[in-house]
Structure 1
């Protein structure tokens, strides 16, 4: 099994290796160009994001700076917006539904490391996909951890650390995040 196949299969893998290094470099170059492209050239910015991401809707807006590991593992729906300072570590797949908003400095992290120091010191990495439903709003400085799934119509309070999955029509918050209230009247 190649390193990339191990990465996508959620097996422990080493970040070193020509294939992953090349893919990260490609993402770094695209994000670097995106982050320095003037606001006057929005069409170019959108073009760069569409080259970088695995899939997008027609309407996508990300405020610089934006950073990710690979880009091709990120899939966002129609009318996606991410404010300043967003980081998506897409070692595993990240799927974000339609009409989602990310406030400033949101972190979405699929990557993690082994708990045992010997394995960490060997440079092993693990990853679990993240899925965020439609019509979600992630508050400023919130962190979404590996393996989390959020249903539709979820609001994540600013500064929250989401360590487990939640269903639909909820406001969640805290560290670790817990249900704060239900959003009534949603289907």
Structure 2
């Protein structure tokens, strides 16, 4: 974590980052308190990536802010930020594409690809990810 901070990442000391997580362009990364990045996750932060507090990013998740203009002869680079809210769970193998915002308390099902922004309290799944249901937290 100290190395990430040295290279400009804004990572809260209470967060947890698996040693095998790959973070490119760390100066564009912000991770809130008590959040985590899972094993072999790839954070491609060509544009800013913000992860809220108490958010869990699962194993082999990809957060990708860069793409290319496929309609152009020059194939220009396109970058757009990713924002992930508080208390979210992005499960194993999730891919988040450029420009996506994940609302607070949302859950993204395993191996889903999120191409559009997600409302708070949503459970999403599939490729491309689609709304499954509203998340409800029940008291035990």
TM-score higher than 0.5: yes
Which deviations, in whole Å up to 9, do the C-alpha atoms of 1:128-168 show, x marking residues without a partner? 00000000110111000000001100110000000000111
Structure 2 match to 1:85 = 40
Match of 1:20 in 2: none
Mapped pair 1:119 → 2:74: yes
- 2:25 maps to which residue? 70
By percentage of residues, which structure has more strand? Answer: 2
SS of equivalent residue, structure 2 residue 73: helix
TM-score normalised by length of structure 2: 0.92
> Equivalent residue for 1:41?
none
Structure number having the greater helix percentage: 1
What do the CA deviations read for 1:22-67 (whole angstroms, capped 9, x no partner)?
xxxxxxxxxxxxxxxxxxxxxxxx2123223531222121112122
For structure 1, the 5+ residue unaligned runs are 1-45
TM-score, normalized by length of structure 1? Answer: 0.70
> Secondary structure in 1 aligned to 2:43?
strand
Match of 2:136 in 1: 184
Query: How far apart are the structure 1 equivalents of 2:68 and 2:133?
Result: 32
Q: Secondary structure at the match of 1:118?
A: coil
Q: Which runs of 4+ in 1 moved over 2 A?
A: 49-54
Superposition RMSD in Å: 1.5
Question: Aligned pairs, how many?
Answer: 138
| Alignment gaps of 5+ in structure 2 | none
| Structure-1 separation of matches of 2:17 and 2:108 | 19
Structure-2 residue corresponding to 1:160: 112
Answer yes or no: is 1:129 the counterpart of 2:81: yes
Structure 2 match to 1:104:
59
Deviations along 1:65-89, one digit per CA (max 9) or x if unpaired, are 1222210000010012111101011
Cα distance in structure 2, aligned partners of 1:159 and 1:58: 29
